[in-house]
Structure 1
């Protein structure tokens, strides 16, 4: 049951002030985003229309703690099919950014592992100029599955290494200093 006292009428404005969330108020819930979504085809728990509807209604906590928020594959099909130019992929990104800030501040708990993977990926790009597969994947498995889970993936990693598809050590690219400066500038904002 939804209680009006639990709703945050300013949530949609907060999202619209977030980079990428500017067009959320244009959504009239037509379902075009969900009908075209390949993820919604295979996982019925994912429904971008419902995420947007809850956000517009002010169901802040439900939206920010919903595990399905992290399922969007950023394929942009919803973006292309939206008659209102809501730019749903960016809106989902804006909501994720709010959720991550709230989690960092200790106001909510995110149970999905995707933010951890994203953080490891970005740190790898900052350090090496590109992502270091073995390091990111190994650290992610260790943090999410424990030592036993990480060891369970070792045979696959060894096969990839033998075929030249995976490097044990990271390869840095030219211009890593410039890439670090770009990240520093973006993080200032």
Structure 2
């Protein structure tokens, strides 16, 4: 088990790498993720390239504090936003109406944006240490199974990213539920 001071050091190092435009791998609620500063188009493009994923699909954005996600949500989201916030922190990603000026690399071709305040303690600590929203998408090449261990994350992505945060998902192999915050419909369960 890692000491608290060592974990704090690794989180500070990861936050610094993210702030400098880096990409990191981290355990999340259900699967391993690749993370980057949500507002850094170049860093997000690195993730899309690693995953071989089309930008038009959009990405999940996470934060430790819903206030960091609020600027991405349409001002008239009202009860949909309240529904999402009331459920967090949780392994539930909500599709919310996106603010008109939300970055295209986050929304893709959609008028909604996928947001989550994660339940995973290390992921929340990473977000808090960074101090803003992060893209966090499954650590895998599109269409292939996600990474399931620290070792596999290092083997697959280590040469191409700045850091791998050691740890394990809370519910290994079970990706977050995705719900539409307007209709409350389950999109991915």
Interval of TM-score (by shorter of Structure 1 and Structure 2) = under 0.3
Q: Higher strand fraction: Structure 1 or Structure 2? A: 2
What TM-score, normalized by structure 2, do the two folds share?
0.26
More helix by share: 1
* TM score, norm. by length of structure 1: 0.26
Larger radius of gyration: 1
Q: Which has the higher relative contact order, 1 or 2, with Cα contacts under 8 A spaced 6 or more apart?
A: 2
